[in-house]
């Protein structure tokens, strides 16, 4: 049996509820509470993962065409963690300028009434439209907290993007933290992912401290087109790419946002794929229709039963350390509900609690 299956078999046993299989049991902060991380090779001396922090949830990320005023004006009615006003795939070539102007006009008012995170997806660095997108975004009176950049395939792409962003924002006083999320959408982008992240972190650090590389999004449709393959219903042909993205993101403390489920009328299929992504370690999923939002967000939210398990385990651990007079890192295994529990499981329980608490605050 694989390590992944063993871990979830253990969690299901601990919670002792059949319903656990209907809710994700894999939740992460922006960086695991453990001080260790996956070793994907040596980092350059100046490249270090971002400091530990709990990022705002991005369980569901909805794309809305930037030129569609009607849809933008409806955002205040949606209960979704994150919306990306889109300048890229959701906008035809003849509507690119309309999208920029509409976002510029409506962003401040929309952001004031929308309860989630309102970000912007620009065009790719190689498209010829990205520079104008960036200039438009950073000339707005209210700046978006996050910019999504698609089709990052190389260090050159990320370097150009960060230099362009630095040039545009230079001289504008701000204490806001700008998040940047990149999209991996090709075989080249997947192979270069670690180097791309390292380059992004390096570009942020010396130029302006308000920049933060927040996560990676898997663009599966372009990825399949790049490989010349058809996407199947179960997406089995994408398992390697998805797992590599998750592992690389976790090594650098980044969020990993899973692919779109394109059949927006198939709720059962959406739930199955969402839960699968959560079990893999993804922190959220892209959505293309409002009806997908509740299913996806539930899949990436700890169930009441799992949260109770995490709270009880954490309390039992604290009682154990108090009795033994040991600290968090020196405490050995202890017994909980007939099981021997060690530090990694305690860390997982603490992550579940932290993530649940953060969701309640947003």
Which positions are catalytic? 342
Query: Which residues fall within 8 angstroms of residue 351, CB to CB, at 6 or more apart?
Result: 27, 28, 29, 32, 33
Count the alpha carbons within 13 Å of 354 in the hemisphere toward its beta carbon. 19
Count the alpha carbons within 13 Å of 253 in the hemisphere toward its beta carbon. 19
Q: Which residue has the tokens 């739930």?
A: 271
Gap between the Cα atoms of 285 and 62, Å rounded = 9
SS3 287: strand
Cα end-to-end span (Å), the chain: 38
Best CA proximity match to 99, nearest among 141, 79, 129, 62 = 129
Annotated ligand binding at 164? The verdict is no
143 in Cβ contact with 172 (< 8 Å): no
Annotated ligand binding at 7? The verdict is no
Gap between the Cα atoms of 217 and 182, Å rounded = 6
Query: Which residues fall within 8 angstroms of residue 204, CB to CB, at 6 or more apart?
Result: 162, 180, 211, 212, 213
Q: Which residue has the tokens 């090709």?
A: 186
DSSP 139: T
Q: How far is CA 182 from the centre of its chain?
A: 10
DSSP string, 47-83: --PPPP--PPP-SEEEEEETT-HHHHHTGGG---SEE
Q: What is each CA distance from 267 to 36, 115, 273, 286, 294, in whole angstroms?
A: 37, 25, 10, 15, 10
Annotated ligand binding at 185? The verdict is yes
Gap between the Cα atoms of 158 and 183, Å rounded = 11
List the binding residues. Answer: 121, 185, 222
Known binding residues for Mg(2+) are 185, 222
Q: Which residues are annotated as a binding site for substrate?
A: 121, 185
């Amino acid at each position: 049996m694989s390590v992944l299956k063993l871990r979830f078999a253990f969690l299901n046993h601990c919670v002792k509820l059949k319903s656990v299989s209907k809710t994700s049991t894999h939740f992460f902060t922006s960086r695991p509470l453990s001080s260790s991380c996956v070793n994907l090779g040596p980092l350059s001396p100046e490249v270090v993962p971002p400091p530990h922090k709990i990022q705002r949830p991005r369980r569901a990320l909805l794309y809305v065409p930037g030129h569609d005023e009607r849809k933008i004006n409806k955002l205040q009615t949606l209960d979704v963690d994150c919306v990306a006003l889109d300048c890229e795939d959701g906008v035809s070539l003849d509507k690119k300028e309309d999208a920029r102007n509409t976002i510029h006009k409506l962003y401040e008012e929309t952001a004031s009434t929308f309860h989630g995170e309102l970000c912007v997806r620009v065009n790719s660095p190689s498209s010829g439209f990205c520079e104008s997108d960036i200039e438009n975004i950073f000339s707005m009176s209210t700046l978006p907290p996050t910019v999504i950049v698609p089709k990052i395939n190389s260090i050159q792409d990320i370097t150009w993007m960060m230099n362009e962003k630095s040039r545009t924002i230079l001289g504008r006083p701000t204490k806001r933290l700008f998040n940047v999320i990149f999209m991996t959408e090709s075989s080249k982008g997947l192979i270069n992912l670690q180097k791309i992240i390292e380059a992004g972190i390096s570009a942020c650090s010396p130029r302006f401290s308000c920049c933060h590389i927040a996560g990676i999004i898997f663009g599966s449709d372009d990825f399949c087109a790049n490989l010349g393959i058809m996407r199947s219903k179960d997406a089995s042909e994408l398992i390697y790419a998805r797992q590599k993205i998750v592992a690389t993101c976790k090594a650098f403390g980044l969020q990993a946002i899973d692919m779109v489920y394109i059949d927006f009328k198939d709720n059962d299929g959406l739930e199955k794929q969402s839960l699968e992504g959560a079990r893999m370690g993804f922190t959220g999923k892209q959505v293309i229709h409002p009806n997908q939002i509740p299913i996806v967000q539930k899949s990436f939210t700890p169930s009441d039963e799992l949260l109770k398990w995490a709270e009880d385990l954490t309390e039992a651990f604290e009682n154990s350390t108090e009795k033994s007079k040991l600290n968090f890192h020196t405490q050995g295994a202890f017994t909980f509900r007939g099981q021997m529990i060690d530090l990694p499981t305690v860390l997982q329980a603490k992550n579940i609690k932290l993530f649940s608490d953060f969701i309640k605050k947003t």
